[in-house]
Structures are given as C-alpha cells and as structure tokens.
Structure 1
Amino acid sequence: MADHYEVLGVGRDASAEEIKRAYRKLARKFHPDVNPAPDAADQFKSVTRAYEVLSDPEKRRNYDATGHENGTGGMGGGFGGADFGGFQDIFETFFGAGGSGGMGGGPTGRARRGQDALITASIDLRDAVFGTEKTLEVDTAVVCPTCDGSCCQPGTQPETCTICNGQGAVRRPVRSILGTVMAAETCSACQGFGTVIPDPCRECSGQGRIRERTSLTIKIPAGVATGTRIQLAGRGEAGPGGGPHADLYVEIEVRQHDVFVRDGDHLLATMSVPMTAAALGTTLTLDTFDGEQEVPVKAGTQSGEVQTLKGLGVGRLRSNGRGDLKVTLRVETPTRLDDEQRQLLEQLATVRGEDRVHGTTEQRGLFSKLRDNLKNL
C-alpha cells in the first residue's frame, strides 16, 4: 500500500492545513467528473483515503507509529490520549463550522445575492434646486446571456456529486474525549453545492454572470446635497449562479456655483451697491435660477443689510415648497475721485454738517454699567 504522505505529496512534518490544501488540490485534479483518465477514480480514492487518515490526529499518530492504519491508541488512561482535534470537530458538527454543507443543512445553492455597489454622480446647484434626471455609465455584473445564470454550457446541466451523493458534505468518524463521533465537512469535490458542472459556460467561465458597461437613468429629487445617497433597489450587481441583483447606491456631489452659496434650503448671494444708490435708494436686477428678479434697495441702506426673496431657494427634499434667496447688500465706498466728484462730495458734507465729523459713542444703559461693576468685584 502506498505511503499516505507520498500520495498527498507532503512531508511527515506537514501541518493539518498543509494536508488539507494538498488534498483539495489533488481531489480537484483526479475527480472522475473532471478527469476522464481511466485511473482517475482509483487515484481519487487513494487521495481521499490518505486524507481521512492524516487529517485525523489519532489515526495519524497510529499511522506514524505502526506504519499502517489500524493501530492501538485511543482514549487510554484519563485524558492522556484525548484527541482535542476531534473535540473541535464535535463543535463543527453541531454548529456548522465544518462547512456550508454540514450536518443536515443540505447542499448550498449556487445562486447568491450580488454585492451592493456605490457610484458618484456630480450635478450642478441648479439640479439640486429643482431636481433632475441623469444618465450614468455603470460597470457592473449582469446575468450571462449565454447560460442565463445557470453556469452551464447550453444543452448541459449540473450533475449530482458522486462523492457526497448530492449532500454537499462528507462525514467521517473521529475519536474525541466524548468517544467516536461523526464529523461533517464541506465536500471538497463540489465545494458544498451537491452538484458539479461537467461543462461550464464558456462565456462566463461557469460564474453565471459577466461584467458589462451599462447606461442607467436615475431621477434625482430636489433638495439633495453633497453626500446624499440614493438607493436603487435591485439595480446593483447580479449574483453568482443566477442569484438576485444587489442594490446600487448613488452618492450625490453638488458642484459649487459662481454666484450662489447654499445654506440648507436657502440660497445666499451678495450684491454690490454704489454709495449714492444706497443713500438714495434703487432697484437692482439679479439673474436667479428662476430668471431675472428685482432686488429693492431702500434709501439709506447700510452695508450688510439682507433682502429676502421668498420661495426662490432650494426645493425641500422630503416636503413641499422651497427655501428663500437671501441677498446681502454691500455698499461700495469710492476709492478714487476726480476733482469734480470730490468737490460735489465736499459740498454735500458741508450741507450736512459733516465736513468736520467727530466720532460718537453709544450711551450705555443702566444694566450694562451694573454688569461691568459686578465683573470688577
């Protein structure tokens, strides 16, 4: 009988993980469903038997000591011969840690939900004010048009795994501190699906989906802001094996505007007013998202005063109506005067008694004085 270590191609000091990796590699290579060689079935059985012995710590100790599979060992006195690897298999058996096809759970379906995706859409401030529709190019996974998600080449279908008989898991006896128990682990031949695909679809390589660039038109509501995410249920990636589509999330990025600044549902703008116009009063014209609007400037307007244009702001995201457009007026004081302008201003200053202006201070009230006195105590 061939040496089990040689069959798996590992050294006698190989770890349990190395033995498992070697077995899975050889099992895939010699599985009769994928290897048509006449001796593939016998080689697969040898590989499987070698793994059954070397993956069981107690059997491996007996095999290393005696050179054959049936050796004495076991529980011994007390816990001296306890197989804590088998104890771990007990937990795997009862709690399903041994694999997706463990202990009565049945085989795992190939169809799985796709993965959610996140993309960014940049829009203008006007689009955030009124809402808009936008067409996006999305690189995503779609159902394979050749196999329609079945993963099989047209005209073929999955076949029941002959190793686990369609259960998705294989069982083996292991010794533990509780005695000999049956441990279940995912079938390495079918990866827990219970079926194998002898002729995978050539277009999708047996995945049931392909990547494709598609166009997507979405409706962006009024009131969105940078960072707002719109969920499009079922518009994300198609799942493997014909699984359901995931969700697509579109994160909004609002570009800055040259004139308007957003403040919640309101729009802010600043307009310059000549000193004489602010003193005499006038009407300015502002080009807004709703067309040209008149901004009244009353006589005697001071720099920093705000005129509010009701209902010309941003649409509210989750309610009706819009915010306001608030225009801050900035009075401009001339910095360069010709002789005629200077003479006119000097005449005005004389008439108003402002040719010799003395700074004035505001009178402090009783409570202000009392507060300052209390601070000095």
Structure 2
Amino acid sequence: MTTCEDPFVVLGVAQEASREDIRSAYRRLAMRWHPDRNPSPAAAAEFKRLHAAYELLLDDERLAAWRAACHGAAADGAAVGDDLVQSLTLTLEQAAAGCHRTVELLHRVRCSSCAGSGRVQHSHSVPCPACSGCGRVVRTGGRTARCDTCGGHGYLRETACTNCAGSGWRNEPRTLEVTVPPALVGGERLRLARQAPLSPGDERRVAGDLYLEINLAAHELFVLDGLDLHCRVPVSIFRLLCGGRIEVPTLNGTTWIELPPWSPTAGDHRLAGLGFPGKGERAAGDLVLHPQGVQPQLAAREDCQLLELLDWRLAADLEQRAPLLADWQQQLRARREGPVV
C-alpha cells in the first residue's frame, strides 16, 4: 500500500465504518486473495495491500499519522499525478440501492526482475537474441552483415529483460473494492481520493484521484426517464376491461395495484415515489405503468359459449358501448337496403 493510498477504499468500507465492519470486510477479501486460495500472480501483492490497510485502520495513532501525511503532502504543494476517469456500469437496482463493486486497474510499476533497468546480467554468456548466436543478420536483398546487437560475437553477458521487454516497467493488476452509495444516476461520478494509477517516473508524486463515472445498463423491464421509471405491463384483455388487482414489478420486487374498469379515456397508472429513489433534496421519481391488453390466441369450446353470450349482449347496446362497431353496422345496413351508386 503506497503512502497515501486510502485504506478505506482498499477494503471497500465507508469512512465511518465500525471496527466490526472493517474486520468483516477484511475477512471477506482475505479469503478471496490469500495466495493459498488464489492462484493469480497478483494475489500475494493484493493480500499484502489488504493486510496493510487492515492494520492501519485498526491502529488509531497510525491512522491519524496517515491522514496527516496525506493532507500534508497536498498542502505542501507536492506534485500530484493525473486524475483518471473510468466508467462503472450498474444495473438500475444496484444504482438505486447502492452496492459493493470490484474495480480492476493496471498500475505501471518498476520491474522487479531487472530493478527497473531494463537489462539483465547473466552469469555466463547466452546466445544473442537478434542473430541467434551466429553473429550475423540478414539484410535487404539477402545479404548478411555483422549483428549490431552483439558486435558480431554471437553471445552476450547482458540482455534486455524479457519480463518488461527492456522497458524497466511492467503492468501490475490492482483490485479496488468500492462501496457505491445509493441513488447515483447515469453521468454522476464517484470520487476515490488518491487512487489513480501513477505513470512511469511519477513514483515520487502523490497519486491523483480516480473518478468512477456511473453508466446505467439497459433494463429488461424498466426505462428510466429523469427519475421516473416506465414499465409496459401485459394484462389480459378481460382483466383490462373488467378492472381488478394485478401484480406489477418495482425496483424492490413487486406490488399489487387495483385497475379500474377500462374506459376510452383510461390512461397510464402512476405510482408516486416508487420510481428511482431521491437523494438529498431531490425527490424520488414515480413508477409509470403502461397496461397493454393481451388477447388469447385460442379459445376453448366452453370459452366460445361465454364469448357468444357477451357478443349478443354487446350487440344490444352498440351505440353506447362500441360506437365504432355501431357505425360499421350502419354502413353495412345502408349498402344492403339501398342501391350502391
């Protein structure tokens, strides 16, 4: 863990977390990253970071000193590395309720194999990688010439480090456990102080801030408009006509609503406060339901008898209950009884 790396971010706990919360987070992450359980090459380093953060958070004196050191470095005008903005995609449920997420980063660190030099000294001569030990290389036109890498000797006592391709630096994975607070909408940013990766040559700088920009994934049921959630609800045509109780989805599960009998002026159903949650002075949105009538594709024989009765009852009062059908019947009657011009 670097000098100003935030131990709260490393363990994914809030600044006001209790000691029990800290212990619980450490146990959970230690089980995941312990080298005896995790074969990843990064597991040992990550486990050390977790343990260092855990010990720091449980030692009040060291924690106070850490805070003073980080604040002092910023106050003294120490050079600060670049900030980084990275996208974090959440489901509507995760964004509404808050969640714990894992963020993967790549840090540039000095190569331990060559101590950052990019070169490796060998105890005995090894074949030159450029000419495979023959001392000559093929040039344009098929001619051969002396190998510039080994000076024509064919063997070297020093070669470029293969672990960092001679750069002296390599990418090392790093994992952050992030606590996402509730009610973050798309486009908002979550700031993780001093968690941005440092670039080569910046090891003496204070790390910049990492900003996680919230992106909301498309949802199979809901469409977010502002803070209102819109949902199309398939409903049997019979239930839609008669009204009655139906079950509808919410961000927290389901609820029941009472549909009134259908009428030509019937519109959508708005459930106040059941949309995306509010935050601070921002009020919660509404859940807007759009009932969609579904007709059965098949009718059983018993159903047909009931439907025939309903059709007969409807025909007795078409002008009031089905004016479009009444107008159609009038046009047919006119064509049947009078000449067609």
Tell me which interval the TM-score lies in, with the shorter structure as reference length.
0.3 to 0.5
The structure with the largest alpha-carbon Rg is 1
Q: Give the structure-2-normalised TM-score.
A: 0.48
Q: Give the structure-1-normalised TM-score.
A: 0.43
- Bigger fraction of residues in helix: 2
